[in-house]
Amino acid sequence: MNTRAIAIQVLSRVRATDAYLNVVLDAQLSETPLEDARDTGLVTELAYGTTRRELTLDYALARYSDRKLAALEDRVLAALRVGAYQLFFTRVPRRAAVAETVEALKELGLSRATGFVNAILRKLSALEALPLPDPGDKVQHLAVRESHPEWLVRRWLRHFGRERCEAMLKADNEPAPLTLRVNTAKTTREALLAQLREAGLAAEPTRFSPVGLTLPAAGHVEDLFGYDEGLWQVQDEAAQLVGVYGALPDGARVLDACAAPGGKACHLAERLTVVATDVHAHKLRKIDAEARRLGLTERLTARQHDATQPPPEAWGGFHAALVDAPCSGLGTLRRHPELRYRRKEEDIGRLAALQTRILEATQEAVPPGGLLVYAVCTTEPQEGPDQVELFLRSHPEWTAEPPVLPAEVQVPLWQSYLRTLPGPEGMDGFFAARLRRLY
């Protein structure tokens, strides 16, 4: 199957099933393995790039299609988007972009649609640039140009201003680097950095996280040096900073109330005892598997539990808790580009209400003098600082307390909280608060 056909299959499955792009892509590449790594790279670029630029591409395609895009068969619409993406966002020669996309449709048994797709792509190939809305309507213009829903552009303009909003939009359309967190229970960053470079990998230390390394995007991470030995775990730098910022004391027994997929739980378990919970039993298997690979099973226990309820007394006491709460995920759109089209503005209030319930239940497990770290992978104030301020106003026994970190460790702070935003810093958007129970 040619690379365009595979990309079309991936995108049509994502649209039909509402599945995560990375999950569908991995499954498709397993079903249809490609011998040349360059072909795998092209499929990945077409799948992710087309998804990131979907609104931009659709704005152009709608001008030349006599049929409503939403009414098209999934694979036909995916082919149009893949073809248009090649025309305007890759170096593929325009004639080849059209011809190869049409050929992919034939390979998929959709010869009946080739005339329709060919005609639209040929019209687009004659354009010097993609059509865009009038810049006078800055919200619509930015939404189409950077392929984000208008409601989200409007919120980011209001919360962060024009300059930072544009930087965030652009960052979401850039491929994310492969970022690793060193397993300090087994090695050091310096030692792993030297070993990766010796293996021929262009590894670099992360700017803020003292335990992070970045590498150029790779194929299968399982093939990289140190995976089988459990020397590292894939985790964005901003997510790593949650564990660094939390600065939980050595020897603490910690409740991770919303642990899946387990990155932060494993980070804590490198030096602490962790009970990691999730409401879904199947997600606990992933946490267990990672704990075994990293050699952390003696310090990490995974248990099924609904975090909107206090943990059972039979679990024993805790010194601290981490609430990595379910959220809108608006800080991770470069890694999960399909999420920007699925998330609705009303989801934010619904998720904020769930976060409040989880905070209320989890804080009961923390004794006087103990710490609670609240974290979300979103840019939305309602889920971050506003949520924490509401909690503190209703709980005078709690206070925000920033960590005391070594001088060489600098984390991005905002009003004593950890906050990262998509942009030139190269991280996902995260917020975290470190709270101390006074009595």
DSSP category for residue 197: H
Which residue among 165, 258, 327, 377 is the active-site one?
377
**Residue 165 falls in the annotated catalytic set:** no
Beta-carbon contacts of 252 under 8 Å, excluding residues fewer than 6 positions away, are 272, 273, 319, 320
Q: Which residue has the tokens 């490609």?
A: 34
Written as six digits, the tokens of 36 are 């040349």
Q: Whole-angstrom Cα distance, residue 401 to residue 417?
A: 9
Q: Whole-angstrom Cα distance, residue 211 to residue 183?
A: 8
Phi-psi label, residue 86: left if phi above 0, alpha if psi -120 to 50, beta otherwise: alpha
Distances (CA, A) of 294 to 69, 183, 267, 304: 47, 7, 10, 21
Phi-psi label, residue 319: left if phi above 0, alpha if psi -120 to 50, beta otherwise: alpha
What would the DSSP string read from start to end of 263-274?
HHHHHHHTTSEE
Written as six digits, the tokens of 161 are 């201003």
Phi, psi of 34 (to 5 degrees): -110, 135
- Residues marked active site are found at 377
